[in-house]
């Protein structure tokens, strides 16, 4: 695999379409590298000029004597293919294409882009773009980009890297990061991603020893397998990936054949995949930068118990509320420690948040005393201190810092974020002493939550599920399956589905309805009817032969009136099953990430509240339990309001088994749904089944 150093540290660069005008797209990168003293050789390519910006110009790449490392392309789309063919002759390693007019416009542009892709695949030339804003390496002043941000602000070399599909928004992220004082070493935009993608860029950044933290932005992912591999690489290197994924549209909702397809929208799957592979998804640039800033401490708490020390009761409550929103625990101090704190400051609130009160102004020594007791006895994984404007005071700023340094002595593995308002010089003094400073308490909590997420991800061993696909492959009939077919296939696989009988005429009903006093349900069986109730194709609580015959006739009449063109295979008769909590279990083949399993509460919970969870298939029993526990209504499964707890082990088993089914048979199946699934303390059983084949 190509390394980031090979791309970002070339010994030579040729700029095809180099302009003498420093404001033009072909002029900016040349101007930047001249002014910022890029150490490599620079070859402007312009057949119409002898010199460009004071440098000797060449008619084409082939007129350069030596081989080239990096080719920057800034010519019209119709000329790009011929430039790349020359780049291959010159044994170039990388080509970056500014030019637009490719797949984003379709037509001939799509043809050009496919030709670029073939050149890359056949030659091994790595291509960035087309329709790309470029990249930079601030450590060696390599600036093949036409973004105006680097003209206004020379990047600060640091250990943060940015990967962005969007050039304009990638520039925005960089600019705001620069204004926050964050050092950006590498910045790369990928454009149309004919070859190099955001995913592979993340992997290269993860494998580069100079990178500590990765910020990434994307609208979509083309290669799900490569993308997740990249996130896994970053996690294994203990490098945080802070990811902004935009676009919350649902995939295929208009043509959904089941609840599973319509519920499994693109965004929720991205959400699950990012979380499952250790990336932290953010909703705003501010959140992204807060977290990137907080990673400078290189401390990632492995638990979620937060200690809060404050000079304001109100500030402490605000932090506690924000912590609850983030799923963090603000656990109380042990009682004996509370008593000791009370002796130090009788008016203090010692539980947690620990309020040192206004006594703080009279005796700053209580800060290290309180903090030491919180860290040594409270069992907190990290602390947030709320000092409001006190650190900005010329009188109190230095004494407070000394008190905090004393407080943290011996606790180098603990993270302490200060919520404080002070001028830039004072903030830098606190930061240089090892303290993170975030003005807003809620933002501080969100950043802390992200660091705790990374701590949990970096601590856990992520074992690949031991899955032998051959053990779970089944033969699927090459036809449009009806409900009886679907139920039988899944039942044969070992999934619990209520037994049913297919009736093709009224006389066959006599073999089912006798004197056993059982109740039955009758449903129309048709591969053309997905929602049977909507067309009058379901009858419930049928207890004798007379009602059965009447229901049979009514169902056929309803179908004749409401779905006259449907092919009818018969009527299915199944025992009525009552009791338990109604759930939905399904699976689908996502176009990006492959087999996905879905579980959630059924009925209104699924359709309206969307209380559902997703996971890449196949999954382990541990992952199945996490899916169950992630639901808002999970308490229903554990005996809420005096009800019996359900058979959790049986529920986990059915989720795991369906995930195995979809993973092993993804070449034959597009969707599977078991809905509803009734779960109780006695059984877990599906009443209905749907399989949509490819």
Joined together, the tokens standing for residue 692 give 């949509």
- pLDDT tens-digit readout, 161-186: 999 999 999 999 999 999 999 999 99
Q: Sorting pLDDT into bands at 50, 70 and 90, what band is 548? A: very high
Residues 525 and 502: beta-carbon distance below 8 Å: yes
In the prediction, which pLDDT does 656 show? 97
Joined together, the tokens standing for residue 577 give 């099953």
Residues 8 and 135: beta-carbon distance below 8 Å: yes
Among 171-185, 300-314, 522-536, 582-596, which stretch is predicted with the lowest mean pLDDT? 522-536
Please state whether beta strands 538-542 and 213-218 pair in parallel, antiparallel, or not at all (unpaired).
Answer: unpaired
Q: How many CA atoms, within 13 angstroms, populate the side-chain half-sphere of residue 13?
A: 27
Kindly tell me if the per-residue pLDDT of 263 is higher than 50.
no
Domains of the chain: 4-295 (3.40.50.261), 299-459 (3.40.50.261), 499-575 (3.30.1490.20), 581-693 (3.30.470.20)
- pLDDT tens-digit readout, 206-221: 999 999 999 999 988 9
Among 481-495, 502-516, 586-600, which stretch is predicted with the lowest mean pLDDT? 502-516
Joined together, the tokens standing for residue 92 give 């170039």
Residues 67 and 94: beta-carbon distance below 8 Å: no
Q: Which residue has the higher pLDDT, 280 or 482?
A: 280
Kindly tell me if the per-residue pLDDT of 261 is higher than 50.
no
Q: Sorting pLDDT into bands at 50, 70 and 90, what band is 194? A: very high
Joined together, the tokens standing for residue 19 give 């302009």
In the prediction, which pLDDT does 264 show? 43
Residues 292 and 213: beta-carbon distance below 8 Å: yes
If residue 172 lies in a helix (H) or strand (E), which one and from where to where?
helix 167-179
Q: Sorting pLDDT into bands at 50, 70 and 90, what band is 148? A: very high
In the prediction, which pLDDT does 258 show? 44
Average pLDDT over residues 572-580: 89
The answer for residues whose C-beta is within 8 angstroms of residue 595's C-beta and 6 or more apart is: 587, 588, 589, 616, 617, 618, 659, 662, 663, 666
In the prediction, which pLDDT does 103 show? 86
CA distances (Å), 44 to each of 54, 73, 82, 93, in order?
10, 11, 17, 18
- pLDDT tens-digit readout, 380-390: 999 999 999 99
Residues 243 and 216: beta-carbon distance below 8 Å: yes
> Cα(416)–Cα(403) distance, rounded to whole angstroms?
13
Joined together, the tokens standing for residue 467 give 């899955």
Residue by residue, DSSP assigns 18-55 as --S-TTSTTTHHHHHHHHTT--SEEEEE-TT-SEETTE
Check whether the bond before 676 is cis (ω within 30° of 0).
Answer: yes
In the prediction, which pLDDT does 50 show? 95
Kindly tell me if the per-residue pLDDT of 608 is higher than 90.
no
> Cα(132)–Cα(108) distance, rounded to whole angstroms?
18
Residue by residue, DSSP assigns 384-407 as EEEEETGGG-TTTHHHHHHHHHHH
Average pLDDT over residues 186-202: 97
CB environment 609-634: b (16+ within 10 A), e (fewer):
eebbbbbbbbbbeebbbebbebbeee
Residues pairing with 613 in the sheet? 599
Give the residue from 367, 376, 385 showing the smallest Cα distance to 337: 376
Report the percent of the chain where pLDDT is more than 70: 95
Kindly tell me if the per-residue pLDDT of 255 is higher than 50.
no
In the prediction, which pLDDT does 259 show? 42
If residue 217 lies in a helix (H) or strand (E), which one and from where to where?
strand 213-218
Please state whether beta strands 306-310 and 354-355 pair in parallel, antiparallel, or not at all (unpaired).
Answer: parallel
In the prediction, which pLDDT does 220 show? 87
- pLDDT tens-digit readout, 300-339: 999 999 999 998 889 999 999 999 999 999 999 999 989 9
Average pLDDT over residues 99-124: 93
In the prediction, which pLDDT does 691 show? 93
Q: Sorting pLDDT into bands at 50, 70 and 90, what band is 248? A: low
Q: Sorting pLDDT into bands at 50, 70 and 90, what band is 588? A: very high
Residues 441 and 404: beta-carbon distance below 8 Å: no
Q: Sorting pLDDT into bands at 50, 70 and 90, what band is 105? A: confident
> Cα(94)–Cα(88) distance, rounded to whole angstroms?
10
The answer for residues whose C-beta is within 8 angstroms of residue 366's C-beta and 6 or more apart is: 344, 345, 356, 359, 360
- pLDDT tens-digit readout, 53-78: 999 999 999 999 999 999 999 999 99
> Residue 693, exposed/middle/buried by CB under 10 A (0-12, 13-18, 19+)?
middle
Give the residue from 539, 661, 648 showing the smallest Cα distance to 583: 648
Q: What angle do CA 638, 644, 647 make, to 5 degrees?
A: 65
Please state whether beta strands 594-601 and 612-616 pair in parallel, antiparallel, or not at all (unpaired).
Answer: antiparallel
Longest dimension (CA), the chain: 102
Among 104-118, 515-529, 568-582, which stretch is predicted with the lowest mean pLDDT? 515-529
The answer for residues whose C-beta is within 8 angstroms of residue 445's C-beta and 6 or more apart is: 306, 319, 322, 323, 325, 326, 328, 384
Average pLDDT over residues 365-378: 85
Using CA atoms of 83, 88, 92, 97 in order, give the dihedral in degrees to the nearest 10.
30
Average pLDDT over residues 420-427: 95
DSSP 463: P
Give the residue from 277, 204, 195, 294 showing the smallest Cα distance to 243: 277
Residue by residue, DSSP assigns 623-644 as HHHHHHHTSTTGGGGBTGGGPP
Kindly tell me if the per-residue pLDDT of 294 is higher than 80.
yes
């Amino acid at each position: 695999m190509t390394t980031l150093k090979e791309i970002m540290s070339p010994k030579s660069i040729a700029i095809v379409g180099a302009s003498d005008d420093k404001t033009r797209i072909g002029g900016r990168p040349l101007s930047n590298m001249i002014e910022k003293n890029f150490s490599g050789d620079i070859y402007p390519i312009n057949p119409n000029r002898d010199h460009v910006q004071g440098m000797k110009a060449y008619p084409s790449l082939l007129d350069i004597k030596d081989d080239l490392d990096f080719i920057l392309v800034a010519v019209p789309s119709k000329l790009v293919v011929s430039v790349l063919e020359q780049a291959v002759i010159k044994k170039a390693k990388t080509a970056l294409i500014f030019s637009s007019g490719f797949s984003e416009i379709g037509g001939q542009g799509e043809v050009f882009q496919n030709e670029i892709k073939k050149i890359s695949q056949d030659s091994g030339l790595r291509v960035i773009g087309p329709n790309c804003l470029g990249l930079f390496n601030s450590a060696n002043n390599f600036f093949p980009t036409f973004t105006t941000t680097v003209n206004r602000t020379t990047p600060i070399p640091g250990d943060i890297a940015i990967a962005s599909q969007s050039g304009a928004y990638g520039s925005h992220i960089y600019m705001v990061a620069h204004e926050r004082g964050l050092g950006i070493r590498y910045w790369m935009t990928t454009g149309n991603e004919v070859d190099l993608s955001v995913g592979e860029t993340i992997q290269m950044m993860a494998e580069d020893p100079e990178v500590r933290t990765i910020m990434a932005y994307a609208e979509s992912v083309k290669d799900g397998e490569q993308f997740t591999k990249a996130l896994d690489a970053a996690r294994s290197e203990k490098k945080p990936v802070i990811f902004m994924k935009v676009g919350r549209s649902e995939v295929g909702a208009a043509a959904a054949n089941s609840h599973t397809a319509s519920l499994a929208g693109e965004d929720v799957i991205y959400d699950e995949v990012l979380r499952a592979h250790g990336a932290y998804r953010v909703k705003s640039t501010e959140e992204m930068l807060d977290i990137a800033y907080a990673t400078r401490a290189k401390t990632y708490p492995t638990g979620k118990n937060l200690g809060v020390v404050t000079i304001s009761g109100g500030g402490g409550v605000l932090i506690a509320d924000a912590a609850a929103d983030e799923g963090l625990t603000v656990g109380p101090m042990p009682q004996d420690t509370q008593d000791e704190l009370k002796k130090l400051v009788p008016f203090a609130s010692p539980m947690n948040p620990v309020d040192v009160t206004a006594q703080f102004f009279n005796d700053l020594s209580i800060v290290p005393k309180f903090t030491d007791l919180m860290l040594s006895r409270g069992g907190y994984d990290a602390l947030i201190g709320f000092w409001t404007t006190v650190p900005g005071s010329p009188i109190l700023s230095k004494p407070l810092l000394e008190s905090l340094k004393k407080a943290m002595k011996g606790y180098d593995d603990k993270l302490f974020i200060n919520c404080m308002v002070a001028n830039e010089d004072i903030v830098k003094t606190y930061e240089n002493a090892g303290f993170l400073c975030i003005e807003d308490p809620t933002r501080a909590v969100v950043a802390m939550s992200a660091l705790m997420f990374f701590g949990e991800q970096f601590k856990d061993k992520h074992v690949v599920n031991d899955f032998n696909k051959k053990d779970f492959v089944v033969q699927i009939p090459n036809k449009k399956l009806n409900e009886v077919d679907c139920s039988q296939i899944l039942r044969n696989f070992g999934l619990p589905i209520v037994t049913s009988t297919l009736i093709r005429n009224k006389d066959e009903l006599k073999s089912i309805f006798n004197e056993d006093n059982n109740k039955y349900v009758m449903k129309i069986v048709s591969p053309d009817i997905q929602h049977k109730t909507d067309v009058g194709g379901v009858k419930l609580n049928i207890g004798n032969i007379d009602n059965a015959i009447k229901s049979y006739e009514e169902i056929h009449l309803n179908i004749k009136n409401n779905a006259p063109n449907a092919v009818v295979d018969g009527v299915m008769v199944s025992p009525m099953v009552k009791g338990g909590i109604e759930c939905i279990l399904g699976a689908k083949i996502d176009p990006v990430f492959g087999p996905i399993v879905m579980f959630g509460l059924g009925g209104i919970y699924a359709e309206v509240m969307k209380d559902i969870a997703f996971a890449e298939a196949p999954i382990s029993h541990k992952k199945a339990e996490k899916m169950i526990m992630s639901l808002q209504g999970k308490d229903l499964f554990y005996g809420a309001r005096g009800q019996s707890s359900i058979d959790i082990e049986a529920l986990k088993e059915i989720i795991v088994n369906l995930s195995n089914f979809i993973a092993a048979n993804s070449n034959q199946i597009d969707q599977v749904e078991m809905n509803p699934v009734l779960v109780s303390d006695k059984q877990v059983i599906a009443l209905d089944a749907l399989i949509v084949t490819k």
